[in-house]
Amino acid sequence: MAKMIFINLPVADVAKSTAFYEALGLTKNEQFSGAHASSLMWTDTITIMVLDKAFYATLTPKQIVDARTFSQILVALGLDSRAEVDTLTEAAIAAGGREAHEPEDQGFMYSRAFEDLDGHGFGPFHMDMGALEAMQQQLQTEAA
C-alpha cells in the first residue's frame, strides 16, 4: 500500500463543505463518505476528510477549536504553476471561502492563501526551482 495522508477537518456542515471542496476539483470518495463525513481526494495519496464536529469529537479527547479564531494547522499545497495557484484560490473564493492574504511573489516562489467555510487555512504555492538556483548562484557570486 502506498503511503497516504488524510487531513481530518471538523466542519459545521458536511454537505456544504463537500460542495466547497468539490468546487476546488477534489473528488468525493463515496466508499468512505456518509451523513457525518466526506472523503475528498486531492490526489491518489492525499485525502481531505470533512467530519461533522460530533463525529470528529469521537477521534480526540481534546477540545475542538474554532478555526476562524484559532489556527491549528495550515496546509500548504504545492502546484505546478502560478496559474494553478491563482485558479485554485479563485475557485475557493467563488465557492464561499475567504482569501487570507494578498498574493506573495518572492521571485522563486509564488503563493496565495485562503480559508475554507470553517476557517481552515490553505496555502497554494508554486516554487520555480530554476529561479531558486539562479538566485542562490547570484548570492554566492556576490558573496565571493
Taking the complete model, does pTM exceed 0.75, yes or no?
A: yes
In the chain, alpha helices (H): 14-23, 53-57, 82-94, 129-143
Tens of pLDDT, residue by residue over 61-70, are 999 999 999 9
- Partners of residue 39 on adjacent β-strands: 49
Sort 111 into a burial class: Cβ within 10 Å, 0-12 / 13-18 / 19+: buried
Taken in order of first residue, the domains within the chain and their CATH numbers are: 1-62 (3.10.180.10), 69-144 (3.10.180.10)
Strand, coil or helix: 5: strand
Q: What is the DSSP string of 100-122?
A: EEEEEE-SSEEEEEEE-TT--EE
In this predicted structure, the answer to whether residue 23 has a pLDDT above a threshold of 90 is: yes
